[in-house]
Amino acid sequence: MRIKTYNLEESHKAREDDIRYWKSQSIKTKMNTIYELWSLYCWMKGLEPGEQRLQKVVKITKIPQS
């Protein structure tokens, strides 16, 4: 693992390096990282990663003009 530091003026370079890094990683590595981040989020929120939850439902309706 390699850690780079940037000045605030170089934030655009840091973003470009991040994009280049993730483009170079395999799908498996990306998916494992997403799962690790999701698990960490669930742990911080007190959730179980595999637990069933209600899903949000959105319905768009057209209101007749009067």
- Kindly report the pTM of this predicted structure: 0.57
Give the pLDDT mean for 20-41: 93
More confident residue, 27 or 65: 27
User: Could you tell me which of 26, 46, 27, 49 has the C-alpha nearest to residue 37?
Assistant: 49
Residues 40-58: pLDDT tens digits?
A: 998 998 888 777 767 788 8
Examine the pLDDT at 26 and tell me if it is beyond 80. Answer: yes
10: tokens are 């170089």
